[in-house]
């Protein structure tokens, strides 16, 4: 029998994918308080924050068999922010739009800012979880905008190796992002296309 409180996060996720109730309980106990703090920071209401966290964990359990998570900590933190956005920000913005039909551009701009912020934070977290060389290649390519030959020279590796690392990084990010592109289609596609 497992001593679940001694297990690393990745071991718990593996057990969770197999439907292990105790692994789920350990993840819940390990991260519930942290997620509640994140949710409360956005909602400023304890019962609303608890509702958000409950929703996050319910979704985690319901999707346990299809999980592909590099970091459960980042996954849960981002899921919490997205749930806050989905439950609280969007309805508020929609109500405002009904009363301020002439302010449509401002509404879209505010929503896009929230979408971009959450998605950027999540992608940054995913990038930081990549293996070191994959992470370096990705950052040189997407942040420093270096070409493959320039990256190869800077890292003192073959161009084919740079291409392999970049392909691996992009594949990993795409798989993880597939589970989280739940924000507005327009903003999501704009950011996704810029990155990939």
Q: Nearest Cα to 67, choosing from 79, 52, 51?
A: 79
CA distance 178 to 119: 12
Residue range 97-116, pLDDT digits in tens: 444 443 434 334 444 555 56
Q: Which two tokens stand for residue 65?
A: 């068999």
CA distance 74 to 71: 5
Among the four given CATH numbers 1.10.1740.10, 3.40.50.1010, 3.30.365.10, 3.40.50.1700, the one describing domain 1-99: 1.10.1740.10
Lowest pLDDT segment from 23-27, 117-121, 156-160 = 117-121
Residue range 124-178, pLDDT digits in tens: 777 878 888 888 998 888 888 888 899 999 899 999 998 998 888 888 877 766 6
Confirm if 166 and 111 have CB atoms less than 8 A apart: no
pTM, whole model, 2 decimals? 0.49
* Fold designation for 100-196: Arc Repressor Mutant, subunit A (1.10.10)
Q: Nearest Cα to 82, choosing from 109, 64, 66, 59?
A: 59
Q: Which two tokens stand for residue 168?
A: 């691996």
Please report which confidence band the pLDDT of residue 179 belongs to, taking 50, 70 and 90 as the band edges: low
């Amino acid at each position: 029998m497992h001593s679940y409180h001694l297990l690393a996060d990745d071991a718990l996720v593996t057990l969770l994918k197999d439907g292990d109730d105790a692994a789920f309980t350990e993840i819940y106990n390990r991260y519930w308080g942290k997620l509640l703090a994140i949710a409360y920071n956005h909602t400023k209401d304890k019962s609303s924050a608890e509702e958000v966290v409950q929703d996050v964990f319910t979704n985690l359990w319901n999707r346990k068999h299809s999980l592909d998570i590099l970091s459960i900590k980042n996954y849960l933190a981002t899921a919490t922010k997205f749930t806050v956005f989905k439950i609280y920000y969007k309805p508020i913005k929609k109500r405002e739009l009904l009363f301020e039909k002439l302010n449509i551009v401002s509404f879209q701009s505010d929503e896009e800012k929230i979408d971009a912020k959450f998605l950027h934070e999540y992608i940054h977290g995913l990038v930081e979880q990549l293996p070191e060389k994959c992470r370096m290649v990705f950052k040189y390519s997407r942040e420093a905008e270096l070409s493959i030959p320039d990256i190869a020279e800077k890292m003192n590796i073959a161009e084919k190796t740079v291409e392999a690392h970049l392909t691996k990084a992009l594949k990993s990010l795409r798989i993880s992002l597939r589970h989280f592109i739940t924000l507005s289609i327009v903003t999501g596609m704009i950011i996704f296309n810029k990155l990939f």
